[in-house]
């Protein structure tokens, strides 16, 4: 909120000149903060309006002539697979590792699908319908052993679960500021490993990806030397301001402490839900759980609406009610949510 007000003030005071004097600085700040959170260098970071746009650019930069398959998990968020499903007519094959229980995929399954024709393994760190945290380092090792790259969709992980791109040996990472970075919609953040940047030549681009952006050369195109070569057009500056505020809070508390706190709340919620006899789609091991608690119920969207009437915000996915406590929630609030759900379910009988 404060960030958006600050944006309005700069716009009012500086007009279009705010671009050079101030707004570019805000963009540099968000890259710096994100780089610190994931253990990267700011030159390895780019911004995009959303994850889908960022993925389209990266997907357009990969050479599929020698390696024509891309490996994904059938529990990944659909926008990830869409990038390569639409490339079928270019000869790209999507291979899916399948979850038997809709909670997780054993990392070893990737081994059976990845081969020397795999261009990329693209998967999430945290599954959006079970909260399961994948062992990215294991999957990265499988990808690299076969000469493939690994791309991680970390939309459901960044901010709530610690991550270091070097330790996990990640080549590409995409995430958004809407969820656990508390920055709202309109901004995605991209990491590209330094050594890969010079060989990436996306076929969709824009003037923000040009080396000499402000020279306005109409007849020539040269990519920027850093990860921002995947950027396209004018970014949504208000979203950058909002996200800078969100990332400040995350950095002040630290992702490690957020993780500790949310794990405590999540484990309590799961235990309480199970006491009521509800089926919870949750990983068995507490260290594989994130702050996404999925309760299997009929017509979850109706329960979400009834909870809004009680000032409780949850969400639904087909057949599932999603409860996502964050660090500012409490054990007492967990009990209030569980009691409210029990009452709503009882009133439907």
Ligand X SMILES: Cc1ncc(COP(=O)(O)O)c(C=O)c1O
**Which residue number, 111 or 315, has a Cβ lying nearer to ligand X?**
315
**Which residue number, 81 or 273, has a Cβ lying nearer to ligand X?**
81
Determine the size of the site formed for ligand X (CB under 6 A): 12
For residue 134, state whether it binds ligand X (rule: CB under 6 A): no
What is the closest distance, in whole angstroms, from the C-beta atom of residue 303 to ligand X in the complex?
A: 19
Rg of the Cα atoms in the chain: 21
Q: What tokens does 258 get?
A: 């957020």
Alpha helix stretches (DSSP H) within the chain: 2-14, 18, 24-38, 51-61, 78-85, 108-113, 136-145, 237-253, 255-275, 300-308, 331-348
DSSP string, 222-254: -B-SSGGGG--S---HHHHHHHHHHHHHHHHH-
The 64-83 site mask, x for binding ligand X (CB under 6 A), equals -------------x-x----
What is the closest distance, in whole angstroms, from the C-beta atom of residue 66 to ligand X in the complex?
A: 28
**Which residue number, 18 or 237, has a Cβ lying nearer to ligand X?**
237
The 164-183 site mask, x for binding ligand X (CB under 6 A), equals ------------x-------
Chosen residue from 4, 6, 39, 52 binding ligand X by CB under 6 A? 52
Q: Which residue shows structure tokens 């995409």?
A: 174
Burial of 149 by CB count in 10 Å (0-12 exposed, 13-18 middle, 19+ buried)? buried
For residue 104, state whether it binds ligand X (rule: CB under 6 A): no
Closest C-alpha to 170, from 206, 137, 195, 147:
137
For residue 7, state whether it binds ligand X (rule: CB under 6 A): no
Closest C-alpha to 236, from 186, 299, 301, 178:
186
For residue 124, state whether it binds ligand X (rule: CB under 6 A): yes
Sheet holding 315-317, edge to edge: 279-281, 293-296, 320-323, 315-317
**Which residue number, 188 or 340, has a Cβ lying nearer to ligand X?**
188
Chosen residue from 23, 84, 104, 128 binding ligand X by CB under 6 A? 128
Q: Which stretch binds ligand X (CB under 6 A): 20-28, 107-115, 151-159, 319-327?
A: 151-159
Cβ distance 27 to 235 under 8 Å?
Answer: yes
Q: Which stretch binds ligand X (CB under 6 A): 101-109, 152-160, 220-228, 231-239?
A: 152-160
**Which residue number, 180 or 272, has a Cβ lying nearer to ligand X?**
180
Query: Which residues, 267 to 306, sit near ligand X by CB under 6 A?
Result: none
213-221: which pairs have CB atoms within 8 A and are 24 or more residues apart?
none
For residue 153, state whether it binds ligand X (rule: CB under 6 A): yes
For residue 56, state whether it binds ligand X (rule: CB under 6 A): no
For residue 226, state whether it binds ligand X (rule: CB under 6 A): no
Chosen residue from 51, 103, 165, 197 binding ligand X by CB under 6 A? 51
**Which residue number, 18 or 47, has a Cβ lying nearer to ligand X?**
47
Q: Which stretch binds ligand X (CB under 6 A): 32-40, 130-138, 153-161, 218-226?
A: 153-161
Q: What tokens does 267 get?
A: 């484990």
Chosen residue from 156, 158, 177, 272 binding ligand X by CB under 6 A? 156
- Number of helices (H), then strands (E), belonging to the chain: the values are 11, 11
Residues 277-308 as b/e (b if ≥16 CB within 10 A, e otherwise) read ebebbbbeeeebbbbbbbbebeebeebbebbe
**Which residue number, 18 or 121, has a Cβ lying nearer to ligand X?**
121
What is the closest distance, in whole angstroms, from the C-beta atom of residue 238 to ligand X in the complex?
A: 16
d(CA 344, CA 349): 9
Q: Write out the residues near ligand X by the rule CB under 6 A.
A: 50-52, 77, 79, 124, 128, 153, 155-156, 176, 188
């Amino acid at each position: 909120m404060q960030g958006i007000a600050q944006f309005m003030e700069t716009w009012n005071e500086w007009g279009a000149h705010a671009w050079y004097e101030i707004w570019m600085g805000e963009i540099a700040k968000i890259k710096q903060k994100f780089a610190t959170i994931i253990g990267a260098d700011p030159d390895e970071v780019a911004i995009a309006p959303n994850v889908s746009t960022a993925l389209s650019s990266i997907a357009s930069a990969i050479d599929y002539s020698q390696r024509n398959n891309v490996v994904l998990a059938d529990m990944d968020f659909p926008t990830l697979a869409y990038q390569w499903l639409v490339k079928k007519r270019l000869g790209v094959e999507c291979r899916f590792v399948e979850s038997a229980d809709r909670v997780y995929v054993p990392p070893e399954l990737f081994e059976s699908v990845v081969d020397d024709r795999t261009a990329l393994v693209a998967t999430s760190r945290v599954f959006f319908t079970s909260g399961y945290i994948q062992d990215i380092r294991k999957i990265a090792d499988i990808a690299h052993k076969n000469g493939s790259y690994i791309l991680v969709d970390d939309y459901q992980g960044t901010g709530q679960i610690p991550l270091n791109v070097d330790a996990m040996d990640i080549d590409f990472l995409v995430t958004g500021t809407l969820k656990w970075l508390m920055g709202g919609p309109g901004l995605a953040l991209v990491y590209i490993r330094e050594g890969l940047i010079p060989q990436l030549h996306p076929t969709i681009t824009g003037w923000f990806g040009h080396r000499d952006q402000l020279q306005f050369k109409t007849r020539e195109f040269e990519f920027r030397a850093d990860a921002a070569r995947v950027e396209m057009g004018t970014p949504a500056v208000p979203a950058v301001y909002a996200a800078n505020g969100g990332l400040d809070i995350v950095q002040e508390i630290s992702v490690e402490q957020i993780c500790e706190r949310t794990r405590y709340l999540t484990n309590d919620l799961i235990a309480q839900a199970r006491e009521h006899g509800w089926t919870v789609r949750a990983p068995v091991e507490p260290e594989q759980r994130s702050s996404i608690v999925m309760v299997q119920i009929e017509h979850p969207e109706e329960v979400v609406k009834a909870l809004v009437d009680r000032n409780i915000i949850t969400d639904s996915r087909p057949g599932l009610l999603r409860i996502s406590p964050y660090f500012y929630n409490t054990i007492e609030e967990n009990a209030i949510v569980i009691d409210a759900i029990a009452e709503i379910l009882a009133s439907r009988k």
